[in-house]
Amino acid sequence: MKNEAFSESIEMYLKTVSELADSEDLVPISALAERLGVSTVSATEMVHRLKKQDLLEHLPYKGVSLTVHGGRRACRVIRRHRLWERFLVDYLGLPWEKVHDYACRLEHATDTAVTEALAIFLDNPRTCPHGNPIPSPDGEMPDISDIPLIQMQPGDRGIISRIHPESILLLDYLAGRDIRPDQPVEFEEIAPFNGPLMVKIGEQTHALGQEIAAHIFVNCEDEVRNDEIA
């Protein structure tokens, strides 16, 4: 079983499918293309190549999902990414909202030996600075049970657990408003006609667009969860 030897492009595709997959099972190729900043034609082309390598499956007109094999590869990339983020924030003192992009480059240039030595140096952190869990060395993603802010009900309270999926624009926006993991949240109300969500975070009440609210995950206070009815 040969290791390494995956191009940066392939790693980006696998990582992105994995990131987009945990909201929905099947990731539309268009979503993939958009997040990667390539045309749908290019994305389709690459999907075919990855399918041939048994890294993902494709249900035409529905979307793609990772195979077990592909999922493990993706998790290894994500592990490297999140470990680097921890290092960049905790040891190099770089800004929370910038390190995602820096780590996006480092993640493709890191040998397994370096990754694991880094993990030990960092004392095996559980999450990245944005709250996302760090997969195990063999490519297993820890289970989590938080919910996106947008699924909260008026009156619900909780603690921000993570920002996901990340992007520089989103993180910049949130950093400017001091919206980060570990902050307490209280969902106040949602404006009608698909309007913004009014949410109290820390001391401040924010009007958050629905898109943004889908990227903020929360550990709700002890209460019956009703995912379906939401």
What residue ranges bind DNA (CB under 7 A)? 7-10, 28-30, 36-42, 44-46, 48-49, 58, 60-63
Q: Across 1-75, where does the E strand assignment appear?
A: 56-59, 63-66
CB distance 184 to 161 below 8 Å: no
Identify the DSSP state of 63: E
Q: Is 129 in the site for a second copy (CB under 8 A)?
A: no
Q: Is 117 in the site for a second copy (CB under 8 A)?
A: yes
d(CA 169, CA 97): 9
Q: Residue 150 CB, nearest distance to a second copy (Å)?
A: 33
Q: CA nearest 34: which of 53, 51, 17? A: 17
Judged by CB under 8 A, the residue of 118, 144, 159, 175 near a second copy is: 118
Give 142's Cβ-side CA count (13 Å radius): 15
**Strand-strand pairing, 216-220 and 204-208:** unpaired
Among the residue ranges 29-37, 46-54, 68-76, 89-97, the one whose residues contact a second copy (CB under 8 A): 89-97
C-alpha dist (Å) from residue 141 to 51, 72, 133, 137, 166:
22, 9, 7, 10, 17
Q: Is 105 in the site for a second copy (CB under 8 A)?
A: yes
Judged by CB under 8 A, the residue of 68, 113, 169, 229 near a second copy is: 113
Q: Residue 45 CB, nearest distance to a second copy (Å)?
A: 22
Among the residue ranges 92-100, 125-133, 149-157, 201-209, the one whose residues contact a second copy (CB under 8 A): 92-100
Q: Residue 60 CB, nearest distance to DNA (Å)?
A: 4
CB distance 137 to 116 below 8 Å: yes
Q: Is 230 in the site for a second copy (CB under 8 A)?
A: no
Q: Binds 67, which of DNA, a second copy, none (CB < 5 to 8 A, cut-off by type)?
A: none
Secondary structure in 3-state letters for 133-193: ECCCCCCCCCCCCCEEHHHCCCCCEEEEEEECCCCHHHHHHHHHCCCCCCCEEEEEEECCC
Q: CA nearest 61: which of 37, 90, 40, 91? A: 40
Q: Is 11 in the site for a second copy (CB under 8 A)?
A: no
Judged by CB under 8 A, the residue of 94, 144, 159, 175 near a second copy is: 94
Q: Is 175 in the site for a second copy (CB under 8 A)?
A: no
Q: Is 92 in the site for a second copy (CB under 8 A)?
A: yes
Q: Binds 92, which of a second copy, DNA, none (CB < 5 to 8 A, cut-off by type)?
A: a second copy
Catalog residues that contact a second copy under the rule CB under 8 A: 88, 91-94, 98, 101-102, 105-106, 108-111, 113-114, 117-118, 120-121
